[in-house]
């Protein structure tokens, strides 16, 4: 097994874990979901929290010495803020889709290039 260049601390254990099923147990035996919206966050207690390997996109350590300028808010408030942010994003996407539709650009699986119609995969 080759180490990445430059060498990263913990890379060996990470490389050894790739492609294997692992069980994650939190050190403090707490299971919370932390939701971030802009510069605010809220912690929602979850009891048992299952993490599947294909759902993990980032694993990192927290630098507790670094100052954080995030404000903790009530879980109900952060959920409301999150829903509002999702709604804003949906409205913006629909607005852009309408503008592109008015300019004769198809959205999704079809896109016009010159005089030919190209079909593309949509994710």
> What is the set of domains in the chain, with CATH numbers?
11-119 (2.30.30)
Residue 78 burial (C-beta neighbours within 10 Å; 0-12, 13-18, 19+): buried
pLDDT of residue 75: 92
Q: How confident is the model at residue 10 (pLDDT cuts 50, 70, 90)?
A: low
Distance separating alpha carbons of residues 9 and 37, to the nearest angstrom:
31
Three-state DSSP class for 113?
A: strand
Mean pLDDT of 71-86: 94
pLDDT of residue 100: 76
Tally of CB atoms within 10 A around 42: 22
* Gyration radius from the chain CA atoms: 22
Q: pLDDT tens digit string along 38-48?
A: 999 998 888 77
pTM of the model: 0.52
* β-pair type (116-119, 110-113): antiparallel
């Amino acid at each position: 097994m080759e180490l990445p260049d430059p060498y990263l601390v913990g890379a060996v254990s990470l490389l050894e874990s790739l492609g294997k099923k692992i069980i994650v147990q939190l050190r403090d035996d707490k299971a919370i979901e932390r939701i971030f919206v802009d510069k605010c966050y809220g912690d929602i207690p979850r009891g048992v929290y299952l993490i599947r390997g294909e759902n993990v996109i980032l694993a990192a350590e927290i630098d507790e010495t670094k100052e954080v300028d995030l404000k903790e808010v009530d879980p109900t408030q952060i959920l409301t803020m999150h829903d509002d942010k999702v709604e804003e994003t949906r409205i913006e996407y629909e607005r852009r889709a309408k503008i592109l539709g008015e300019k004769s650009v198809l959205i999704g699986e079809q896109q016009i290039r010159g005089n030919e119609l190209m079909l593309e995969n949509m994710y």
